[in-house]
Structures are given as C-alpha cells and as structure tokens.
Structure 1
Amino acid sequence: MTKLVPRSLAGQAFVLQLVVVAVIVIAGSTLALLDARRDGDSAARQQVVGIASALAQSPSTAAAIESGAATPVLQPVTEDVREDTGVAFITIMAPDRTRFTHTNPTLIGQDYLGTIEPALQGETFTEVYTGTLGPSVRAVAPVRSSSGEIIGLVSAGITQQTLAQRWRDELPQIILIALAALGVSLIGIWAIRRRVLRQTHGLGPTELQVMYEHHDAILHSVSEGLIVLDRRGVALANDEARRLLSLPDGDIDKDVLPPFLRSFSPGARDEVHVTGDRVLVVNRSHVPGERSPDTEVVTIRDRTELQGALGELDSMKVFAESLRSQAHESANRLHTIVTLVEMGRGDEAVKFATTELELSQRLVDRMSEAVGEPALAALLLGKSSQADERGINLTITDDTELSADAEDVPLSGQELITVVGNLIDNALDACDRDDPWVEVTVRQEKDELLIQVADSGHGMDPDEFARAMQRGYSTKSGGEQGRRGLGLALVAQVVNRHHGTLTAEMTYGSVVTVRVGKEHR
C-alpha cells in the first residue's frame, strides 16, 4: 500500500487534490442529476395543471358536457392537445368517474382510476398514481357550468417513464461538463504539483519536517550569530545574532541594524567591526539562485574578549621586548665595565655603571610613584623602550599622575591598557620620521581622567578621524591604516561606554585627547 503513495510532498499533495476534486465533481454531477429530476417533476406538475385547468375552464368543454355529446366533440380536441403538449393522457369525465375521453378509445365509458374527491370539492390538485398507462404525475381540475355547478372533471397526466427519459436526455450534457471540470482541475493541480516539486526539491513531508527541526535546532544552538538579509530587510536572525547586535524580539527592520549591515556586500571575509560595546568579526556570503539575487548570509563572531586578551598580550609582548632590549644593553654595559677594570680604570668603571643604573632606576621609580596602576606603568616603560629601539623620542610628561586607588580611576586596568596602548601605537606609527617624537600624559583631574597623546605627525582630518572611530578595518588589510583604524575604534568603544569624549586637534603636533568622568564608571 505504501508503494501506491508518492514519497514527495508534491506527489502526495497531487493525489490528495485529485481525490478531493474527483469527489467534488462526482458529488456535483449527482446533485445536478437530482436537481434536473426534481426540476423535471416540478415542471411536469405545472404543465399538467396548466393543461387540465385550461380545458376545464374552456366554455366549449362545459357546453359539450351539457349537450350530451361530450365524447364526439371533446375526444378530437383532447388528442390534439395531448399530441401538441407531449403529455401521456387527457381524460374528461363525469362526476361519477365515467370517461368521456381517453388516449385509448376502448377505455371510454369506463371508470376513471385515481383520486377525484378534492376536485369534486372545487379544488385543482396533483398526485402520483398508477393508472392504465402506468405510474404518472397527473392533475385533476373541476369543470363548472354557467351556474357554477361541477358538471365534469378534466385529468391530464405524464407518465414517470416519460419524465425519467427527459432527465436521462440531460445526462450526457452533465457528464460532459463534469469531465471538462475534471480535466481543467487536473491541469491546475498538475501545475501546482510541478511548482511544489520544484520548490521542495522533491522532498517528502517527513524529510521536510526533519530539515525544519534540524534547522531550528541549529539556529538556536549555534555559537555564531547568523543573519539572512534580502531586499525586504532581515529575513532571519538567530538568538546569538540578536544578542551580539542588541536586536529586538520579533520582526527586525533594516534600519535598526548597524551601518555595516545595511548595504549588500557579499564575499566579505573576516571583517572586523566595532559596535558600541563589542568587537565583531563578520563574514558575508551570497545565496545562490535566481530567486534570491540580493540575498546574503552573514555570520558574526564575538571577538570582544579575545581583543582584550590580545591587548594584554601585546602589553606583555612590549614589556618582554623591553626586557630583551635591556638585557642586550646590560650585556654591552657589562662588557664595557669589565674592560675598564682590566685596563686599571676602576673609578671610571664604577661611575659608568652607577650612572646608567641611576637613570634606569629613576625612570622606574618615577613611573611607580606617578602611575598607581601596575599594568599601565609596565606598558609605559615597555613603550619607552620600544620607542627608543625605533629611534623615536617618547616622553612621559611630568604632569602624568594616576591614583593607585582603583575607585578613583574611571577606567579599569584593562581599559587603560586598551586606550593608552592603542593611542601610543598610533602615535609611534604616525610621527614624522624626520623629527620623531611622542608625548604622553595620563592625569587624574578631580573627577575626570585625562589621557593625551601627541606626536609629530600630520594627524587625520575630521572626516577621517570620525570614520576611524566608528568602524574597524579588515584584519586582512594589514598596514598602518589597519592598525590605526581598529585601534581608534577600540578606544572610541571604551570612551563611549563611559560617556566620555575623544577629540583630535593640530596644535604643537597631532594631539588626541580622551576625557572620562568618574561618575560614568
């Protein structure tokens, strides 16, 4: 039995529709036949009533009965009427049932078979009765004299066989209409089958159900954000995408998406974008097919925590490079001191060793006293060594001062590393190579934290600076522009989170200033 049922959804829908249409057509044809029979019976009753009433009301009928010559006068008349109207019989009789006329002349003079009592009471009525010609629908009407006395009766009838033949004559037309309706319906549901078969790729209901359940489970469980964009806007967004982009429940309007998702851009790979509080890696792929020319699938990965870890790792890397550089310099100084001792110039060796040690220690002591955050102090020391290796004069201004109490500082240690580290990196990359210098100030001013980094470069114009703060650049782009774009975007993210300000101006150099109030922590 299962082999007779199509596997695909389109095939099953075709069979079901075919059965439904066939049942409707058969039921409609049957109702049409019954309606034709009912209409035939009703028309027959009206016809025989009309014939019987017309003859009964004719003055010539009453005159013939009163004259005593009813049969010779009325028999030809009734036969002519019967032949013209196609009824089975027309009988005119006396009130005592004696026939004056009949289709079969041999039955004239015999008693009429059927009901006549209502007619004798002056009523015209119809009935179905089996007479000499078989079952028939007949009407009986009274004939009145000029004085109103009932002097005779007129009965006209049509046999049921004749009626049956009439509606049987309509059967071919009904069957033809039914077959035409079935044919048109068959063409329609075949076209529907082809469309459904194409759209469902020949899959069966069970397969489609399993696919939907798997699709729904994947959307809710996948750890990446997933969005499908089409011409109308957002066709689909999973739970992770809504969380990462802070999207509302229900339908999503394209206007609430971040700017980087409002344009059609398939083929993008590992783009890094910075939103208000997250760093996101975005990939975009075009959906193949003629029916979806402007549809793309967007996957989103959260890189916020990874970016923070990379920032800390970068700080440690800078610090390690600084230690490596200092170890290399220490080895050179040690060789110099040993050589001076071997040459018998001990006083000069002691002076050389203590001078370098005092300078280094003085810098460490100053950073430790001015900057209470150990990680930031290590970052500044490491960046100083890094700048020295690159031949850049990096100055930590005397105004630099930061409380050791974390409650007094609006930014956390990790946020300080992100802001100061990225601004210094940008300055080191952007400073003028003919006159390379960078100046850093980190100062707590009452309830406001000031971070200011200046360099000898040409800076960025307002439009470029605004774009750099609003979005990141692809990690594939590399180069100075890529680092500066992502760095400034990360700085802007931290500043916006604390409702601070990030500005750039050209005064004595390219100066970038961050201000964050304590009350916004």
Structure 2
Amino acid sequence: MIWMNQLKLRTKINLLVFLIVGVVVLLTIASIEYLTIERQFDEAGQRALMLARTTAALPETVQAFASPDSVLKLQTLVETIRQKTGAQFIVIADMDQIRIVHPSPSEIGKHMVGEDNGLVLEGQDSITMATGTLGRSIRGKTPIRDASGQQIGIVSVGFLVTAVWRQIGLNLLWIASTGFVALLCGLLGAYLLSGSIKKQLFNMEPFEIAYLAREQSAILESIREGIIAVNSHGDITTCNHEASKMIGLDAREVIGEPIRSILPHSRLPEVLLQGTPHYDQPMIIGNTLVVVNRVPVTTEGRVIGAVASFRDKQQLDQISHRMSDIGRYVDTIRSQRHEFMNKLHLISGLIEMKDYELAKNIIEEVNHDYQSTLDFFLAHIKDPAIVGILIGKLHKAKELSIPLHIDPSSSVPNLVSHRELVITFLGNTIENAFEAINAESETAARKTHPDADRQADIKVYLYEEPERLTVSVRDTGPGIDPALGRSVLQDGVSTKGEGRGTGLALVQRLAANAGGTISVRSSSEGTELKMILPKEGVEKSES
C-alpha cells in the first residue's frame, strides 16, 4: 500500500511490533478466557456434586425419609449449609421427584423441574445444566441411599449460571488488565528497538540505504581502480569489476573466500591485525604490477575490516608521462615565445634606428629558417603529430643552444602506426639527451671532463618501411654507465637519482606490447636508443 511506503522505518517497526504483540495478547487472553470459563463451569459443577454428596450422606437426610417429623429439622440444616456454601439451592426429593426440601417453602411438595434427573434416578451421579424455578443453573445430583443401600431419594445442588458468569467476569477483568500491561511493555520495547535500529542505521530510512547501496555499487564499478574489501575474519566482502578483471576471476566467485586463498601475498591480514594503513605499495596481481593502498575499517576504535584499492602501475605511468609531456609542451611554447620576442625586439630596435636593410635581412633569415624547416617536414614527414613534437624540441634545443638535427634521410610518408608510442619515445629520449649534454657541459665547465672540447649534437632518425618503422635518437653526451647496461630500460633504473627511471621503462613495456623492440647502444662517445615497431596489420616475424 502506498501509505505504508510513506511511513518512516521507526513508525513501521512500532506498528509491526504493536500488531504482533496485540495479536499475541488477544490470542493469549482468548485462550485463557476460554480455559477460565470452562474451568469455572466445571468447578461449579464439581462443587455442586460434592455438596450434593455431602448432603446425601447426612444422617438427618436419611432419617427425614423414615420420619416425616424430621423434615423441618432437615430443612433448617440444609438451608444453613446452602447459605454457608453459597449454593443457589439445595433440593431434596423422593423417588417420585417430589420436593421435601427447597429454599422456597412454597415449592415444597411440588414436582422437580428441569427434566435432568434421568441418570440420578438410575443411581448415578450427574452434573447438568438446566432451567428451574430459580433460573438456569449448574446442577450436581446424587442419589440418597438408606442403610441397606437402597435408593430412597435424590439431592440436587445448583449454582446459578449468572453467578458463575459474575465470577468469570472478575477473573477476565484481571486477565485483561494483565494483557493491557503486556501490550504497553511491548510498545515500550518496540519504541526502544526501533530507536536502536535507527541509531545503528545512522538515522537513515530504508529507501535512503537502498539508494546509497546502489550509488556505492555504481561508484565501485565506475572507477578505474580495483577495490577489494574484507571483513574482520579476512573473508572477501566486496570485489568490483576492475579488481575481478585483474584477478582473473568473476566477482561472484571470490565473495566469501579468504583473501589469502585468492591473493596469497595480500597484506590485508596485516592491516586487520595492526590497524595501520599502507599507502602506494607495489604488488603483483597475476601478471600486473599494481600500486596498492590499504586502509583499515574501524568502528568505535575496533577494526572490523579492511579495504584495498589498486591500479595498474603502467596506467599511472602513462598518466604521469602525459602530464610530463604537457609540461614539456608548455616549456616549448614558452621558449618559442621567448625566441620570437627576442627577434621582435631586435627588429623593433633596428626599425627605431632606421636600419631597414638589416631589419629586412633578419626577417628574411628567420623566414628562411622556418620555411626550410617546414619544407623539410612537408617533404619527408607526413604525420602532423610527429612534426609537432619535433618542432617543439627544435625550439627548445635552440633555446638551450644544443644542436638538434633531423636526419635528412628520414622518411615517414604516411600517418605512423602507434603514434602515441612514437611521440612518447621521442619526448623521453630527446629530453634525456638534453639533460645528458647539459650535465656534460657543466662538468666540462669545471674542467674535470676529458672530452670538454667535443661538439654537442643530437640527431633524430625516422624511417618507415613497408613492414616496420624505425625511430632512433643519438646524442654525444657522456653515455650510460656500463654497469647499468640494458637495465636502464627497467622500471626505477636511472642515472639521474631517485624518483626517475619510469619514462624509458614505460616505453619499453609499450613497445613490447606492440610487438616492437628497443635497443640501447652507449659508449663514452654518446648514446643511441633505437625503437623498431611493426606496422599495424603486419604480424611480427618469428626469430
């Protein structure tokens, strides 16, 4: 029903508990009332029968049948017993059902009414309910026997049904009062229970919890990081799509499994035990190197679980490298602006001095340099993205006063395959060459380098063949430490100190994924890095 959906959780709990307790109390009261009524009527019948037996056993009763003069005495005795026991009537009659004792003297000598004397006339006790001269009553009847055992009369003792019901009403009132108290206790318990549940649910309604759960599920599945959560026993409780993809198992297969059975080297159990978070920790999941963050989940100072988030380090390296490229592009634009400003200032000064001829020559020289560069690229390299990175590096090289040459034999007649990879390779290797030559120049300036007079130079070569693309960058820097060798292509290995060594490692992995190779050749004369990539659609030949 719509109105039920609009009720708050606490109200629903209170109503539900009220209904449950109310139904239980009503059923209990009904059962007790039924048993009470049945017991009261049964007890009334048993009391009537017992009182009848007692009266029948009196010597005065038997004597009254033998001596009519004793009837008056028996009437007085029986009336006294009736008043003390609370019976409505005690009637004594002969075998013809003619009353000889009755509470109302006017009824003495008359025939008994009720038509319920069949069993007692046969000599058996009976408990019946019938309507007599005094009203409807519960009756206990027993035979009167003389000394020889011969039945000489009957005794009938009765309690009015109205009197029984009056006693039952008093009992039921007490039972109903008890039930009402129980119902109040149930309502109090419902109120306390609903308050406790709301507190544990942070005072949120079910629809809010459902929305939050769906929202968190959507968040978990939308982020690019793998997420795994465990409870206090180390069993997996959450595993999003990205995490299951890295693990290589469906999320439904890992839920409920111990974390160590899925990831044997996981350190989440340590986080559960120590309650200490781990940030940016390397870890291998399957065949993927990831960076992991692990944090404990605590409540009231107690660790109840832990969450690990991890992402492919290669993806992070790509992001970092792209950010570095943006920085380099900005530097290139800045250096280009700086160079043009210098030229403009020079031309402006010459015009102020009215040296128009020299100003014209400088303009023609600048135009010739840029036009010749542009003509070269238009003739030899057709990919605009490659041209863009190379022009940027040429401007920076000019600002750093480092000769940067594009090999005249270079040829890229089409848009290159693996463009991003080629740009990344050129960006990293040319920047490394700039840094190497600058470092050598600083060393030479301190007159500690044996090759201080060697001419600095960087040469770039690109050549596209039908089945592969070759890209190389050679510099005349100090070379790579022979102790490093090809390990310079590994992650974290660098000649420039800590925090470096990710660029070439990233390029190495990307090239390997594309089916290409990177080679390093280095000596005291300089360093050359060469990358060979297969063209897309061409299978790599087996060696």
TM range (shorter): 0.5 to 0.7
What's the offset of the Cα at 1:54?
2.8
1:261-319 per-residue CA deviation (whole Å, 9 max, x = no partner) reads 33336665554433341122334456575376554543222334665997977755554
Contact 2:436–2:477 under 8 Å retained in 1? no
Partner-residue secondary structure (3-state), 2:490 = helix
- 2:124 alignment partner in structure 1: 123
**Cα deviation 1:40-62 (Å, max 9, x = unaligned):** 00111111111112333445432
1:57–1:143 contact (8 Å) kept in structure 2: yes
Structure 1's consecutive aligned runs of 4 or more residues displaced over 6 angstroms after TM superposition are: 1-6, 308-314, 322-328
CA distance in 2, matches of 1:209, 1:75: 84
How far apart are 1:130 and its partner, in Å? 1.1
- Could you say if the C-alpha distance between residues 327 and 223 of structure 1 is closer, same or farther in structure 2, counting changes exceeding 3 Å? closer
CA–CA separation in structure 1 for the residues paired with 2:436 and 2:197:
74
Quick one: which amino acid aligns to residue 258 of structure 2?
D
Change in 2 beyond 3 A, CA 1:274/1:195: same
State how far apart, in whole Å, the 2-side matches of 1:282 and 1:178 are: 61
In the alignment, which of 254, 274, 289 is matched to residue 279 of structure 1? Answer: 289
Q: 1:322 to 1:211 in 2, by over 3 A?
A: closer
Is it true that 1:255 corresponds to 2:257 in the alignment?
Answer: no
Cα offset for 1:325?
9.4
Determine the structure 1 residue equivalent to 2:408: none
Unaligned runs of 5+ in 2: 322-419, 439-453, 462-467, 513-543
Q: 1:103 and 1:325 mapped to 2: Cα distance?
A: 132
- In structure 2, the residue matched to 1:74 is 74
CA distance in 2, matches of 1:195, 1:14: 12
- The aligned runs of 1:298-447 (5 Å cut-off) are 298-304=308-314, 316-317=426-427, 319-320=429-430, 389-390=477-478, 392-394=480-482, 421-422=489-490, 426=493, 428=495
Assess, with a 3 A threshold, how the Cα gap between structure 1 residues 289 and 69 changes in structure 2: closer, same or farther.
same
Whether the 8 Å CA contact 1:70–1:100 is kept in 2: the answer is no
Secondary structure (helix, strand or coil) at the match of 2:128 reads: strand
Q: Aligned residue for 1:434?
A: none
Distance 1:228 1:277 in 2: 21
Q: Secondary structure at the match of 1:138?
A: strand
Aligned position for 2:107: 107
Structure 2 vs 1, CA of residues 118 and 132 (structure 1 numbering), >3 Å: closer, same or farther? Answer: same
Residue 389 of structure 1 and its aligned partner are, at CA, apart by 2.7
CA shift digits 1:112-147 (9 cap, x unpaired): 112212211112111111111111000211112233
CA distance in 2, matches of 1:19, 1:396: 80
Mapped partners of 1:393, 1:240: distance in 2: 40
Could you tell me whether the CA contact under 8 Å between 1:5 and 1:12 is conserved in 2?
Answer: no
Say whether the 8 Å CA contact 1:8–1:197 is kept in structure 2.
Answer: no
Counterparts of 2:138 and 2:433 in 1: how far apart (Å)?
123
Identity of counterpart residues, as a percentage? 24
CA distance in 2, matches of 1:37, 1:281: 78
Residue-by-residue CA offset, 1:196-233 (whole Å, 9 max, x unaligned): 22223343333333433444454455543222344332
The alignment covers a number of residue pairs equal to 377
Task: Show the 5 A alignment for 1:197-236.
Answer: 197-220=198-221, 222-233=223-234, 234-236=236-238
For 1:261, the aligned partner's letter is L
Q: For residues 252 and 395 of structure 1, what CA distance do their matches in structure 2 show?
A: 46
Q: Which protein, 1 or 2, shows the higher relative CO under an 8 Å CA cutoff with sep ≥ 6?
A: 1
Give the Cα–Cα distance (whole angstroms) in 2 for the partners of residues 482 and 186 of structure 1. 69
* Pairwise CA distance, 1:185: 1.2
- Given residue 279 of structure 1, which amino acid in structure 2 is its aligned partner? L
Aligned letter for 1:275? I
CA distance in structure 1 between the aligned counterparts of 2:483 and 2:156, rounded to whole angstroms: 132
| 1:480 alignment partner, one of 498, 502, 509 | 498
1:87 aligned to 2:80? no
Establish whether residue 21 from structure 1 lines up as the match of residue 21 from structure 2.
yes
- Calculate the aligned-residue CA RMSD, in Å: 4.5
Change (3 A) 1:56 1:162: same
Q: 1:276 to 1:219 in 2, by over 3 A?
A: closer
Q: CA 1:93–1:428 in structure 2 vs 1: closer, same or farther (change >3 Å)?
A: same
Q: Is the 8 A contact 1:143 1:151 kept in 2?
A: yes
Match of residue 467 from structure 1: none
1:10 Cα offset (Å): 2.2
| Aligned residue number for residue 149 of structure 1 | 150
**What is the alpha-carbon distance in structure 2 between the residues aligned to residue 208 and residue 24 of structure 1?**
31
- TM-score if structure 1 supplies the norm length? 0.60
> Residue 110 of structure 1: SS of its match in structure 2?
coil
Give the 3-state SS of the residue equivalent to 1:146 in structure 2.
Answer: coil
Contact 2:247 2:286 in 1 (8 A): no
Any conservation in 2 of the 1:266–1:296 contact (CA below 8 Å)? no
One-letter amino acid of the structure 1 residue matched with residue 498 of structure 2: E
| TM-score (norm: length of structure 2) | 0.58
C-alpha contact (below 8 Å) 1:10/1:202 kept by paired residues: no
The CA deviation at 1:160 is 0.7
Q: Please state whether the residue corresponding to 1:259 is helix, strand or coil.
A: coil
Write out per-residue CA displacement over residues 465-500 of structure 1, whole angstroms, 9 at most, x where no aligned residue. Answer: xxxxxxxxxxxxxx527859x98xx99xx9xxxxxx
- The aligned amino acid for 2:266 is P
1:135 equivalent in structure 2: 136
Q: State the AA in 2 paired with 1:298.
A: A
- CA separation in 1, counterparts of 2:198 and 2:23? 24
